Structure 1
Amino acid sequence: MAEALRRVLNAGRAAGPGVDGAAGPPLLLLGAPRSAQTSLLFAAALEAAGEGRGPVLFLTRRPLQSLPLNTPAARDHWRLQKIRFQYPSSVPELLQLLASAHEAPGPAPSLLLLDGLEEYLAEDSGAQEAAYVAALLLDTAAYFSGRLGASGSCGLVVALETPKEGDGDAPHLTLLQRYFPAQCWLQPDALGLGQQHCLRASLESGQLSPRVEWSVTFLPNGEMAVTPWPPQASKPSPDKTSPSAGSQSSTLVCDNLSGPQFPLDSILTSETGADSKT
């Protein structure tokens, strides 16, 4: 997976030895509506922007209205200016943007993010179109990795909103999982029913890697607290183990929940390529 997202969930700690500059396998971020996918993508963007290896390319169909600003990283204008927002509004525009990535001036991105893949797939329900979008995303990330060279590789995280439980699977989910060997599922946390909004993040990095889980809680003031999932709350399969619980947690503000927020046009300059909605 893109290690920037793992570091967000690990409360800023390193993902492990020997991962400097390594982006990890492409990741599919999955969750039902209001599972804070956009917030986690943006937190990963801030994390990657602070590494100094290259800008972050954030693709979404529509401009964000507000950003989380209750952390030092989110208040760092230097990091914000390294996040390049682009808004392809349709599948043809998305494909054109990816196909012309080699023509874009400036340094190669160290992280490629796509929010709301399900909205693009809703335009065309064909499996061939979904496979083409996935393949072009992978090719674009590989091209950026080649340009980065010895400084590292380009990570890829794609958010796909899944239907509510009982409403069936997301379109072409099985097909997409073939392209994205790592998946992070965001699910309602049964142990957090008394909280305002509580999720369980389960990361599957690959067949040979154990599942890692975190509890993600959104507090009334809009902060997001992340802690390792308690081992007694998980039921690992015989070939998978759960991580040890820890007391350290991280907090940041979620942009799609209530809390202190500021409009984009008050903090972003034209260097980000972001325009706020009117």
Structure 2
Amino acid sequence: MAETLRRVLSSGSASGTGEGNTTEVGPPLLLLGGPGSGKTALLFASALEAAGEGRGPVLFLTRRPLQSLPRGTRAPLEPLRLQKIRFQYPPSTRELLRFLCSAHEARGPVPSLLLLDGLEEYLAEDPGTQEAAYLAALLLDTAAHFSQVGPGGGCGLIVALQTQEGDSEDALQLALLQRYFPAQCWLQPDALGPGEHCLRACLEPGGRGPRAEWWVAFRPDGEMTITPCPHQPSDPSSDKGSSSGGQP
């Protein structure tokens, strides 16, 4: 789902309602960043973008309700878009696994996009590469099932994971997850960008489309602003443990 996130980050994605602008579902994407790096805000912006494509609803999985709706998203906060975003709050890894295993029994419109926020919280309950691999495989299987039974266009998958610096076990988990999620977007602090709390978003689309970078800044009131990054992309994995404060 790199193209959905690319439209969110691109300056031209704010124009138009987006209805009918369907796109081919790409490889599953892993959204990576430290604490407060704006992962939730970008996930929600992706949900709004997909909700305006004229396809199925968006399934947003997170451990707890959002405290407030992120501001400054490219897609407008239209009631019809918001109604197409279905929030589910599995409180534990067991409940998340149970929900995913029973997804094929659910009635109603088939989701066109599956989002999971806070993967690290679920993995922390039962750390280890085997558990991470099982959960990743189940997420991919659920998205594949939605793609098979849906009316067309497939179901995309974006998962947000908080990275930590200097943890060898987390690094091993990340290396494993990257095999399941060929597309990745890294969020890293960037002192050269505009604003006090600015991050660099580096999108690696997993072989589909060019690599690209943007500056993502958060104002004191929480509003998100996005501008293209003029300098050449660098290796995002070199700073994968970086963290920053601010927007969750």
The Cα shift of 1:206 comes to 1.9
Task: Name the count of aligned residue pairs.
Answer: 231
Match of residue 135 from structure 1? 137
Distance 1:71 1:205 in 2: 21
Equivalent position SS for 2:110: coil
Match of residue 247 from structure 1? none
Equivalent position SS for 1:23: coil
Distance 1:61 1:235 in 2: 33
Structure 2 counterpart of 1:202, which letter? Answer: C
The Cα shift of 1:167 comes to 5.2
Q: Deviations over 1:123-164 (max 9, x none)?
A: 111211110100000000011111224x30111000000014
Structure-2-length-normalised TM-score: 0.85
The Cα shift of 1:75 comes to 3.0
Q: Against the structure 1 CA distance between its residues 103 and 179, is the aligned structure 2 distance closer, same or farther, given a 3 Å change threshold?
A: same
Structure 1 counterpart of 2:118, which letter? Answer: G
Distance 1:7 1:191 in 2: 23
The Cα shift of 1:52 comes to 1.6
Equivalent position SS for 2:192: helix
Match of residue 9 from structure 2? 9
Which of 78, 81, 84 does residue 79 from structure 1 map onto? 81
What percent of counterpart residues are identical? Answer: 68
Structure 2 counterpart of 1:224, which letter? Answer: M
Q: Deviations over 1:101-144 (max 9, x none)?
A: 11111111010000000000001112111101000000000111
Structure-1-length-normalised TM-score: 0.76
Q: Which runs of 5+ in 1 are unaligned?
A: 238-255, 259-278
Q: Against the structure 1 CA distance between its residues 174 and 257, is the aligned structure 2 distance closer, same or farther, given a 3 Å change threshold?
A: closer
The Cα shift of 1:235 comes to 5.6
Residue 21 of structure 1 contacts residue 153 of structure 1 at CA under 8 Å; is this kept in 2? no
Match of residue 244 from structure 1? none
Distance 2:164 2:108 in 1: 38
Match of residue 271 from structure 1? none
Match of residue 18 from structure 2? none
Match of residue 190 from structure 2? 189
Distance 1:235 1:77 in 2: 37
Match of residue 241 from structure 1? none
Equivalent position SS for 1:227: strand
Q: Which runs of 5+ in 2 are unaligned?
A: 15-20, 236-245
Equivalent position SS for 2:160: strand
Distance 1:234 1:44 in 2: 25
Distance 1:176 1:72 in 2: 29
Question: Does 1:64 pair with 2:59?
Answer: no
Match of residue 153 from structure 1? 154
Structure 2 counterpart of 1:134, which letter? Answer: A
Q: Root-mean-square deviation (CA), in Å?
A: 2.4
Distance 1:41 1:117 in 2: 13
Which of 108, 112, 115 does residue 113 from structure 1 map onto? 115
Residue 100 of structure 2 contacts residue 142 of structure 2 at CA under 8 Å; is this kept in 1? yes
Distance 1:104 1:12 in 2: 36
Residue 73 of structure 1 contacts residue 79 of structure 1 at CA under 8 Å; is this kept in 2? no
Which of 224, 228, 232 does residue 234 from structure 1 map onto? 232
